[in-house]
Every structure is written in structure tokens, then in C-alpha cells.
Amino acid sequence: MALHFPMKQSWLFEPPRIMKILFSKVLYSYFRNKKMVFWMSLACMGVLLCLPNSVAAQEVDGNMLLQQTVVAQDIDGNKLLEQVDKNLSPQSYESYKKLINIEPDGKKKEFILFTIKKGKDKVAALFLSPASEEGRSTLRLGDNMWLYIPNVRKPIRITSLQSVVGGVFNNSDILRLDYATEYKAMQVEKRDNEYLLHLKAKTKGVAYDTLKMWINKDTILPTKVECLTESGMLIKTLYFKNIKDFDGDITRPSVIETDSPLYKGHKSVIIFAKMKKRKFNDEVFTQTFMPNLGSLR
């Protein structure tokens, strides 16, 4: 906010008169050898000369800042987040994707998964390769997750922060629910060609306490998501790239890359090869059906 001084309301704020008084003090003290008065008067003149420029500079800097970032009071952040979810995927679908873990020395390990989703909180995935993982499957119902391993009597309980594939992606990233299911919008910022959405986890069971999501204004699709702890420490960053058309009516990023300051030099990538709308019965999202996910292909 610019500062405005009432220039004519008091003699104290009349710069010409103040300058005359101070100048006379400087001359008087100089010839009378009153050093203290001399230097104080001279200092006051300097402050008076610099003050208007300083105020103007603050006003310009403030205006530039407002132009760059504006808190969008007129935008409902939760509705914006719901639209992002709709644009990323249908409510019920199947997809094929490749997950690649890249180590600092360049070595790669690749996985191919068949994934199905229904509603906002039901996701299941089947490992198709490598051979060592073939037949394994994972299931997520809300915050609850399980891993099925062939020849093991029953599914094993897993957590969102673990990773069944190693690398930077955890189970929450691989079996991702709608963002609006887990997060609520706290603030929306308007930028030149994007929105910055500040999100807070609805429960303590969510993998990340806070998200910062950059959203393209034209496509209403995310371009970057920062995942942070409650204290604000960065855990990882997701980059959404290569927008592609799937099945004629799904247009979304086909590549998601991630890196993390906690895994320096490591990188993980998800590449979507196919995605299409498909309806499923609730029974396929149960622990008893996990060994039979392959029958849906």
C-alpha cells in the first residue's frame, strides 16, 4: 500500500519550508562550530531528500508483486480440484501403463501394470511384467491397501508410504485416488497462464500433508505438483507432461515424472499407453478377487 502524506495540512509536511529551516541550521552550526547540530541537520536533509523516492519505490514494487500473483477470492478451489480430477480420468476406467525406475548410474527397472478404477476410492492393479512380478496384484479401498502374491495364502496389508516397486513413487502414487477425495483447497492463486492451488490433507492417513498444484488455465490439467510435509519440507515433485488423446474422449498428460530431494539422483516415470472408460462391478474390488484380476483383460 502506498503511503500518502497530507502535504498541505501542516507546515511540518511542507518540504520547501523544512529544507529552508534545515539549511539555515546547517549554515548557523557550521559558522558557530556546533558540530552536533551541523551533522544532525545535514542528516535530516538527506532523509527528507530520499524519503519520496523510497516510498515511490515501495509502491512500484508492490504493484509489480500484485501483477505477478493474485489470490483468487472469486474461484472455488474445491470445484477447480474436482474439474482437475475429471480431466485426468473418468470415474470408471481401465488403463495400461509402464513404470520405470531410473537409478543414479542410469540403470533402469521397468514394470507394466493393468489398472482399473471405479468411483473415487476403488483402485486395483495387476503386474504383467517383469516375469518376477507377473501375477501380483494390489488393491486400494480408500486409505486401505493390500498386496497379493501368488502362492501366498492371503493378501498382505501395505501402507501408502511404502512402495511395491521401489523407486520414488510410493503406493499412494501408483494407486492414486481422486485428489478431491483426499485433499481440500485452502487457497487459489492466479498467475499469468496458470493457477496455483494450495491443498491440505483431509485426514492424517493421507501420504502427503500438503500439496502445491500448478494448473494450466486453458486445459485445467496439472503441470506440476509439490508434495510436502506438515512442516513444509519438500518430499517429492511430480511433473505432468505430453498431453495425449486416449480413446477419443480422454485428453490428459501421458507421462508423469517424479524426483525427490530424499532420493538424490533417482528418478521414476509413469507412461500411460492406453486408457478407456469401462464399468466394473464392486465385487472385482475385493481381496477375494485379487488373484483373478487377469480375467478382466
The strand pairing partners of 91, in sequence order, are none
Name the packing angle between helices 15-32 and 35-68 (round to 10°). 150
Backbone phi and psi for residue 232, each to the nearest 5 degrees, phi listed first: 95, 5
What single-letter amino acid sits at 295?
S
How many Å apart are CA 37 and CA 89, to the nearest integer?
Answer: 75
pLDDT-based confidence at residue 248 (cuts at 50, 70, 90): confident
Q: For 145, how many CA atoms within 13 A lie in the half-sphere containing its CB?
A: 25
Grid coordinates representing 216 are 494450466
Grid coordinates representing 206 are 493421507
pLDDT exceeds 60 at position 3: no
> What does the pLDDT read at residue 43?
56
Under CATH, to which class is 77-296 assigned? Answer: mainly beta
Work out the number of other CB atoms within 10 angstroms of the CB of residue 47. Answer: 9
Grid coordinates representing 233 are 519440507
pLDDT in tens, 67-105: 455 666 779 999 999 999 999 999 999 999 999 999 999
pLDDT exceeds 60 at position 251: yes
What percent of the chain stands above pLDDT 70? 75
Grid coordinates representing 151 are 502362492
pLDDT in tens, 19-55: 445 445 444 454 455 555 445 555 555 544 444 444 3
pLDDT exceeds 50 at position 183: yes
Tell me the pTM: 0.75
